[in-house]
Amino acid sequence: MSYLNLSLFSKTARLGQILSDIDAGGTPIMDFYAGAPPATPDDPPSGALLASLTCSSTFGAISNGFATPEMTAAGAGYTGIPTFTPNGATAGSGAQFQVVMQLATFTASGGQAFAVNDLLVLPIPSATCLRSAILLVTSVDGNGAITGTSLQQAGQFITSLATGAVSEFETTGVGYGATVTFETYSVAAVNTLAPGNSYTSAGQSGQSLFMGGGGTGAAATPRLTPVLTANAVTTANAVSGGTCGMARIRCAGGLELAISDPGSGGTDGTYALGVSGGTGSGFSGTFTVLGGTIVALQIADPGVYTVAPTITTTASAGLSGAVVTAGLGAGVVDLDVGVAGSGASVIMNSTAVVTGGPVVVTSAYIAEA
């Protein structure tokens, strides 16, 4: 198997197909394990199995949520933080966004003992300043007072903006006493805090998505991406108490085939594979015999199965001893989950397993055949 380490808030277009494949296999089983998740998805869970729950329906619904919008213009003249709204988006709900601002214009002057190429770093990173602005001293007078600066790093600001005169900052030189005044900002980015779900279109693009903040010209293009909204799990048979470090979903899926024994004495050619037993339907495929033995398998449709069937090769006259083994190819999903709604849900990350409420997938290792 190959593994993709995916965040469900930042996906490729392939993710929707993978999740659809996993979700298509009927009612999944969710296993809860004690201890931390394994080092890699290739490893088995290290902790004891606490409970195995049958999901009340197929695990979740795949729909479109919002990815991070693409900025097309930063705008200018902002003294406050504008709002971002996906105007014209249809059918969905729940998307939340955060506008990130950057310093655009400022003045810096005065002080003593500054030198050309000194850096001024301000303000110190905080809950509202994700990245400091950095100014480069480009000219000074005879006393080392700043007479010219340029912006080396525009900073990143959320929820509130630094305004007015600032006289406390870090510097790479020995200068002191200068004053820096933050004047206006532009929009650096728009972060998607929650993608929402069930959107059928991303709506409008351009400047109409930004409102307020005192400036103009910021523009962006919203983008949709597949998201998984998990259904509730039946927790009637959950193990009370215990410490849960991870959950793993086992799902039905299409068949994988392997030649366990190529056999001998067969009539050369390409023939339909037979299917006997198992639980599920939809598989079709062929096998190729050359020199009397099976040399290749071709899957036309993997089908959807919860129990793998027996594969037969009787279509090649004279072939004996051949064994083609079928296995389920949906793989597993190792999940981190969080609480949604009122009451307790299945809580992860070293918290007791309790009952009630739905689960929300926030990230996953998705294993595909």
**219 vs 32: which has the higher pLDDT:** 219
- How does residue 162 score in pLDDT terms, banded at 50, 70 and 90? confident
Does 148 have pLDDT greater than 90?
A: yes
Does 1 have pLDDT greater than 80?
A: no
Rounded to whole angstroms, the Cα distance separating 103 from 105 reads: 6
The mean-pLDDT minimum among 14-18, 69-73, 294-298 falls in 14-18
How large a percentage of the chain has pLDDT more than 70?
Answer: 67
What are 246's strand-pairing partners? 33
- How does residue 57 score in pLDDT terms, banded at 50, 70 and 90? low
What mean pLDDT do residues 24-38 have? 64
How large a percentage of the chain has pLDDT more than 90?
Answer: 47
Residue partners of 126: CB distance under 8 A and separation at least 6? none
- How does residue 211 score in pLDDT terms, banded at 50, 70 and 90? very high
Nearest to 69 by CA among 155, 190, 165: 190
| Structural contact between residues 102 and 184, judged by C-beta atoms closer than 8 angstroms | no
- How does residue 164 score in pLDDT terms, banded at 50, 70 and 90? confident
pLDDT, residue 61, reads 62
The per-residue b/e assignment along 70-85, b for 16 or more CB within 10 angstroms, e otherwise, is: ebeebbebbeebbebb
**Model's pTM, two decimal places?**
0.61
Mean pLDDT (the chain, rounded): 77
- How does residue 239 score in pLDDT terms, banded at 50, 70 and 90? very low
Rounded to whole angstroms, the Cα distance separating 359 from 65 reads: 18
Does 232 have pLDDT greater than 70?
A: no
CA 345-347-348 angle, to 5 degrees, is 155
What are 149's strand-pairing partners? 137
Bond from prior residue into 358 cis (ω within 30 degrees of 0):
no
Q: Kindly list the domain boundaries of the chain, sorted by start residue.
A: 2-65+228-251+332-368, 70-222, 255-328
The DSSP string of 93-115 is EEEEEEEEEEEEEEEEEEEES--
pLDDT, residue 317, reads 93
What mean pLDDT do residues 315-337 have? 77
Rounded to whole angstroms, the Cα distance separating 283 from 300 reads: 8
pLDDT, residue 308, reads 83
Residue partners of 295: CB distance under 8 A and separation at least 6? 262, 288, 289
Alpha-carbon distance values, 345 to 218, 309, 348, 361, 362 (Å):
41, 36, 9, 12, 14
| Structural contact between residues 296 and 326, judged by C-beta atoms closer than 8 angstroms | no
- How does residue 236 score in pLDDT terms, banded at 50, 70 and 90? very low
Q: Which two tokens stand for residue 213?
A: 């903040």
With tokens 């705008």, the residue in question is 75
